[in-house]
Structure 1
Amino acid sequence: MDLLSATLRELRLESAGYRWLELGRAARVAFDRAGLRGVHHVARGHCELVQADGTVQPLTAGDLVIFPRGDAHLLRSPEAGTGPVVSSFDLAMRTPGNRLRAGGPGTEAVVVCGAFLVGEADHPAWRGLPRTIHLPGVDGRPPDWLATLLEALAAEVFDGGPGSDLVMARLSDALIVRALRHYGHTDDRPGWLSGLRDPYVAPALEAIHADPGRAWTVAGLASTAGLSRAAFAARFTRQVGEPVMRYVLTLRMQRAKALLRDGHTTVAAVAGRLGYRSDVAFAAAFKRETGSSPGAYRRS
């Protein structure tokens, strides 16, 4: 299995539903529910995306925006001003069905809005994703490689039937994976996806993920990558955004959390699988990184 597929399975992505949102005149809709990662596809018209730092980004038909970190944001109709803001969550809770509406008369934009959850939000691969992924449309339509998925999702949201929740969840999974894959091939910002496409960093990432408990060293991973120690260390940090041994430690702690949630695995067994010589050494490292002992984490 390729590393992207294997890692996405570890992350435990779960769709949390999609809605068809019509933005009328002066509409301002907030997306700030903790834990939910927003997905927005502009099916028709124009609107504006306002991020938490005040950045305003125009969106048009065909655009897709994903918020991997779950950052709060606002969708508004053009020139909406500073009118009242409605919570997307509250709007969905009080509106039966999948079709929502906000704002005054007319329809400035129609947006297919969804959200998903990440079971392992502290995973170093997920933390290495950008805060926002924007895939622009072409002539009012999504890119060809994405169009079929988005059209099927929009149709299910607008006029679905029995089993729609399951269909939308599967389409959402495919949509997010395709978007991440495309972004990783086209964007040059540092991050985990950038590391995946680097011919020297990718083999090291694959080795680390295959056996995070191995006694890795910078020199050993540099040998796997085919570079000198100094060149590899600098390249890994530049591409992934953090030093390689920090990445190894973070991945070990993520795997430890997953194993501790399994009531059948003892702390000593977790320590052994992750390369620690004793459960005492593992417990000290775990508490240093997470602020909790392994036993307290398991109980919580």
Structure 2
Amino acid sequence: MDILDNLIRLAQISGSINVQCLLQEAWYIRHEQRFAQGMVHIVSQGNGYLQMDGVEKPLRLKSGDIVFFPRSLGHSLSHRPGYHQASPPEILANGAFTLKKTGYGTPDISLFCANFSYDKNSELFNNLPEVVVLNLQEAALQPLLNILKKEALSAQLGSANITDALLSVLLTLLIRTYLKQDKAQLNGLLNGLRDKRLSNVISAVIGNPEKNWNIAALCQTAGVSRAQLMRLFSQQIGISPHGFVNHIRLQKAARLLRHSQQSILAIALNCGFQSETNFGKAFKKYYQLTPGQYRKQQPEESE
């Protein structure tokens, strides 16, 4: 797997493209920020306005726009800037979708919305900007929208499974498209990928975090001296090489705790820790839970 595949696996994403909004006349919908959760709006028809918390100027949305909030920045959607007086939309069940509707007849705007959660320490989602705005054409997502429209027209067998699977496709395409942009605003690990020397190290560690990644091995992989390696990690990623390796090991361990039946000792050893005790201390410091507590906790129970 490549680095994006691995980062998506470590993120432990769960969720679905599960809401369709058909909005007409005067309308307003508010979304509050939620911890370790993200949201995507796909404008399939019409136009409206997006007002993001902390941003003075509203953004006009048009057909084909995709708004991706990696960390569910608080925001509102409305038919015109500054409007926030409308009654809540009518909420109906429509097969795999929850339908939010205002008015009657042809809607002024039609949206498909995805809600998803992920591991709170995800290197992928925590290092993307607060909002990414793309268009269906540049993201090559028109076929996905066509499938969503078909599933929303009438309840069909397997619709929930299809919309769940489409979320993974949607997020992968959105992130891949954004990472290719020269103007992409990236932090931490994602920023480090822009440097070829660091990219080699990041890919190697994420692919095999259990390996004995001492400073000598990291320097050899990057092709730089110890001093250069320390400087690159500090300037580009904002963490020490040892800290980076440790974080990736712990995120791999978290995934195994949730998605495997391996013992805690086996997971500790498979992720590069020398003992269950050392692993337990490091894990609790990073996740504020013991490995056993994390394993029992359901993803939706996250704060």
Q: Which TM-score applies when normalising by structure 2?
A: 0.80
Q: Is the 8 A contact 2:17 2:166 kept in 1?
A: no
Q: 1:57 aligns with which of 56, 59, 64?
A: 59
Correspondences of 1:195-210 after superposition (within 5 Å): 195-210=192-207
Q: Report what 2:184 is aligned to.
A: 188
* 2:81 matches 1:79: yes
Q: State the Cα distance separating 1:232 from its structure 2 match.
A: 3.3
Partner SS, residue 93 of structure 2: coil
Give the aligned length: 290
Distance 1:48 1:231 in 2: 47
Unpaired segments ≥5 residues, structure 1: none
Distance 1:281 1:295 in 2: 14
Q: Report what 1:167 is aligned to.
A: 162
Q: Report what 1:25 is aligned to.
A: 25
Q: Is the 8 A contact 2:22 2:102 kept in 1?
A: yes
Q: Report what 2:45 is aligned to.
A: 44
Partner SS, residue 21 of structure 1: strand
Distance 1:260 1:170 in 2: 23
Partner SS, residue 271 of structure 1: helix
Q: 1:220 aligns with which of 217, 222, 229?
A: 217
Q: Is the 8 A contact 1:188 1:194 kept in 2?
A: no
Partner SS, residue 143 of structure 1: helix
Give the residue type in structure 2 aligned to 1:64: I
Unpaired segments ≥5 residues, structure 2: 298-303
Q: Is the 8 A contact 1:45 1:108 kept in 2?
A: yes
Q: Report what 2:111 is aligned to.
A: 111
Closer, same or farther: CA 157–199 of 1 in aligned 2, 3 Å: farther
Q: Is the 8 A contact 1:31 1:38 kept in 2?
A: no
Cα distance per residue 1:30-79 (max 9 Å; x no partner):
23384652111112222122223354322222211112223332211123
Distance 1:247 1:113 in 2: 33
Q: State the Cα distance separating 1:276 from its structure 2 match.
A: 3.0
Instruction: Name which of structure 1's ranges 62-71 and 174-183 shifts more when overlaid on structure 2.
Output: 62-71
Distance 1:100 1:14 in 2: 22
Distance 1:188 1:221 in 2: 27
Distance 1:283 1:167 in 2: 38
Q: Is the 8 A contact 1:222 1:232 kept in 2?
A: yes
Q: Percent identity?
A: 26
Partner SS, residue 278 of structure 2: helix
Closer, same or farther: CA 80–208 of 1 in aligned 2, 3 Å: same
Q: State the Cα distance separating 1:252 from its structure 2 match.
A: 1.8
Q: Is the 8 A contact 2:53 2:73 kept in 1?
A: yes
Give the residue type in structure 1 aligned to 2:20: W
Distance 2:87 2:240 in 1: 42
Cα distance per residue 1:79-110 (max 9 Å; x no partner):
352314637xxx5xx31314432369974322
Q: Is the 8 A contact 1:22 1:102 kept in 2?
A: yes
Closer, same or farther: CA 27–233 of 1 in aligned 2, 3 Å: farther
Q: State the Cα distance separating 1:143 from its structure 2 match.
A: 2.7
Q: Is the 8 A contact 1:17 1:165 kept in 2?
A: no
Correspondences of 1:1-300 after superposition (within 5 Å): 1-32=1-32, 34=34, 36-55=37-56, 56-79=58-81, 81-84=83-86, 86=88, 91=90, 94-97=91-94, 98=97, 99-102=99-102, 107-118=107-118, 120-135=119-134, 137=135, 142-143=137-138, 145-159=140-154, 161-186=156-181, 187-191=183-187, 192-240=189-237, 242-261=239-258, 264-298=261-295, 300=297
Give the residue type in structure 2 aligned to 1:2: D
Q: State the Cα distance separating 1:200 from its structure 2 match.
A: 1.9
Closer, same or farther: CA 155–220 of 1 in aligned 2, 3 Å: same
Give the residue type in structure 1 aligned to 2:80: P
